[in-house]
Amino acid sequence: MTLSKLSLRNARRQTGDYLVYFVTVTITAALLYACNGLIFSSEVQKLSSMLRTLPLVIVLASIVVVCIIGWLVQYTTGFMFTKRSREFGTYILIGLENGQVARLFFLENLIVGTFAFTLGILLGNLVFQTLRAILLALFGIPYTFAFTFSCKATALTLVYFVLIYLLAQLRSRRRIRSMKIYDLIYYDRLNENAVLTKSGRRKKIFSASLVFGAIGTLLLLERSLPAGILGSACIIVFLYGFFLSFSSGVPAWFDRHTARKYQGQNLLIFRTLSAKLNTMGIVMATIALLFTAVLISQGTGLLFGAIFESRRSAEACYDIFIGTDSPDQDCGDYIAYIESSVPVAAAHSYSIYQGPDAHITDYLEANTDYYPCYSYDTWMKFSDYAALRSMLGYPAVTMTSGEYLIHCVPYQKSAVAACAQPITTDGATLRPGSIHTENLNQKLWNTNGTDFILVLPDEAVAARPVSHNLYAAMTKEPVSAKQHEALCRIRDGRNLHIAGYTTGYTTIYTAPQVREEYASWTAMTILPLYYLALVLTMTAATILTIQQLSETDRYRRQFLLLKKLGMDQREMNRALRLQFTIYYAMPAIPPLFVSIPFLLNLCNATDPGVTEGFYRPLNIICITLTLFCMIYAVYIVMAYRSLKRNVLPWN
């Protein structure tokens, strides 16, 4: 049998033995291809000029993916090498040279890599279609299936794959070339070195790691960059310290509580786990770190999605919205252009007025997460308000004599209701009336008040000084990019647009442009975050699964002995399930303690109103965990079924 035939046969065996690893590498190839497909797709490039930086973002994310998958391939190759070192030693024993064996192993991995790459490219086309469909949906463009095969995307994926595989293979090749027969034959018998061997030291590190974990989480809750960096460092120390010392910390606890140790199946479970952690503490800690990154990436992605959606729905409330920032600025030239070039269905030009005091503004600033843009409460004429509601299709409201209305953003309703007081104007006193919370565009400057506006009878407002002038319109057709640019050119012509908040700046929103802007942001931030989260989860779950399945023989021997000793079948099932559950939960639990507080804190740090209340942050946390668990569960179920079938065959 030639060397290449032997490699081919071994490659086939490897694919079967390490199916989980093969599947992960194939899916990664598919993801890499699909993302590369987006880089080279002219259709995607044409979606928006804002997507110019998308290729850069994808390449950066792909580099991270290459590093992570490179680690996975290197880890798995090393793992296979350890498990098969006796076989390699036997090859040399029967006359093969070290170089030939190294080439055999290299060829074998190359075949597996090539197979995974080819399958990945085929699968990648489907993933690309999915990503394309998501992108088109984001930009509101109907999806139609169009098969495309990108040679450039394939070539770039190949470059990534060559990098991933070559680096991992060169190392094992060097290793085989330099090892003697004896080393190879007895390599699998070498105990993996426990990093921390002294029990007393481990106990101290175990306690210290918990302290670091608590401090790190608290620091992450602080809203400052230095505290965030320090907190992250503490979390890393916590994870590595915890997993490296767990194998002594827990047995030490059980040694003090022997009754607990011998209760139920505690003895078997904790000892199996601590033995496992004793040798793979660093891997476990790295996996926990990856899971922390996954949860934070997914949660942040969801949060960004919520922010973008909130901003989009506020800013794209009208088809065209023009807001000046001073009473001196009017919208005349904009209106002239719109009337001449854009088919308008309904339009309204109006002013926002300065109230005599800042009662509500001050209250909100003092009691809520409110950024005041005006030093006075803003007022609006009822006729303007009614016109806007009519334009937006909201139900008409009536104003009872002696009352005024309030329109605010939903999350400020209770605060505004709590502080609203009667207003005296022109000798008449108006009581606070109903409060409405439909979307009216009340974001920051140059809009219908910041978060709230008081709607008073026209005659009561007329005497007040104007705060700024606004124009809102609904069009018969979507405003085109050219029309939006024309409006912006008018603003540029006023030569007042210098730096962000300079007086005289006019805010211009057109619905399609707002949608395009946030669709682009979504594509450039959320997509890479999910891409990374998916690859990180798969990598970590694959390593855990490979480790677990490699213990199949030991587990089988253990349960066979327990059967002989009279352990009940139900108890054996339960013990295996528990061992399994704890093994997989172990690296996932510490990240929960870090990522959940971090995400909750991040929810509070976003735009006010995006994640107000109890349910929105909870929703984000739940979706994050569900997404993570769904992917993780696929690996867990695959591993459990395989392990149970092999370990408890008499079931």
Q: CB of 552: closest distance to other proteins in angstroms?
A: 15
Identity of the residue, 271 or 497, whose beta carbon is nearer to other proteins in the bound complex:
271
H-only helix segments in 342-412: 359-367, 382-392
Of 73 and 280, nearer to other proteins (C-beta) is 280
CA–CA separation, 431 and 407 (whole Å): 15
3-state secondary structure of 129: helix
Q: DSSP string spanning 184-248?
A: HHHHTTSPPPPS---HHHHHHHHHHHHHHHHHHHHHHHSSSHHHHHHHHHHHHHHHHHHHHHHHH
Burial of 567-606, coded b for 16+ CB within 10 Å and e otherwise, reads eeeeebeebbebbbeebbebbbebbbbbbbebbbbbbeeb
C-alpha–C-alpha distance, residues 583 and 276, integer Å: 9
Residue nearer to other proteins on the CB measure, 114 or 279: 279
Residue closer to other proteins by CB (options 375, 569) is: 569
State in angstroms the smallest separation of the CB of 543 from other proteins: 21
Residue number with CB closer to other proteins (177 or 554): 554
Cβ proximity to other proteins, 358 vs 562, nearer residue: 562
- The pair of three-digit structure tokens given for residue 269, joined into one six-digit string: 């479970």
CB of residue 568 to other proteins, shortest distance in Å: 5
From the number of C-beta atoms within 10 Å of its C-beta (0-12, 13-18, 19+), residue 181 rates as: middle
**b/e per residue 124-139 (b: at least 16 CB within 10 A):** bbebbbebbeebbebb
Taking the complex as a whole, how short is the minimal distance between the CB of residue 262 and other proteins, in angstroms?
4
The closest alpha carbon to 550, from 644, 643, 645, 649, belongs to 643
At residue 379, the 3 state secondary structure works out as strand
- Structure-token match 């950066």, residue found: 60
Contacts of 509 (CB under 8 A, 6+ apart): 315, 316, 318, 320, 321, 322, 441
Annotate 34-59 with b (16+ C-beta within 10 A) or e (fewer): bbbbbbbbeebeebbebbeebbebbe
- Helices 151-178, 98-138: crossing angle, 10 deg rounding: 150
CB 334 within 8 A of CB 359: no
Nearer to other proteins (CB atom), residue 7 or residue 558: 558
Q: Which C-beta is closer to other proteins: that of 19 or that of 275?
A: 275
C-alpha span between 647 and 208 (Å, rounded): 38
| Nearer to other proteins (CB atom), residue 261 or residue 497 | 261
Angle, CA of 541, 63 and 292, to the nearest 5°: 40
Residues whose CB falls within 8 Å of the CB of residue 466, separated by 6 or more in sequence, listed in order: 327, 351, 352, 353, 354
| Nearest CB to other proteins, comparing residues 4 and 258 | 258
φ, ψ dihedrals at 379, nearest 5° = -120, 160
Strands 344-354 and 428-436: unpaired
Amino acid letter, residue 210:
L
Binding-site ranges for other proteins (CB under 8 A): 258-265, 267-268, 271-272, 274-275, 558, 561-571
CB nearer to other proteins: pick between 274 and 434: 274
Q: Choose between 262 and 371: whose C-beta lies nearer to other proteins.
A: 262
C-alpha–C-alpha distance, residues 644 and 5, integer Å: 33
Output 267 or 397, the one with its CB closest to other proteins: 267
Burial of 426-440, coded b for 16+ CB within 10 Å and e otherwise, reads: eeeebebbebbbebb
Contact in structure between 539 and 69 (CB atoms under 8 Å)? yes
- Spatial distance between the Cα atoms of 452 and 436, rounded to a whole number of angstroms: 10
Specify the residue, 412 or 558, whose C-beta has the smaller distance to other proteins. 558
Q: CA-CA distances (angstroms) from residue 520 to 290, 299, 305, 308?
A: 27, 19, 12, 10
Nearer Cβ to other proteins (15/266): 266
**Residue 436 vs 563, nearer CB to other proteins:** 563
Q: How far is the CB of 264 from other proteins (least distance, A)?
A: 8
Whole-Å CA distances, 137 to 31, 141, 398, 443 = 19, 6, 39, 26
Helix (H, G, I), strand (E, B) or coil at 321: strand
DSSP secondary structure, 249-298, as one string: HHHHHHHH-HHHHTSTTHHHHHHHHHHHHHHHHHHHHHHHHHHHHHHHHH
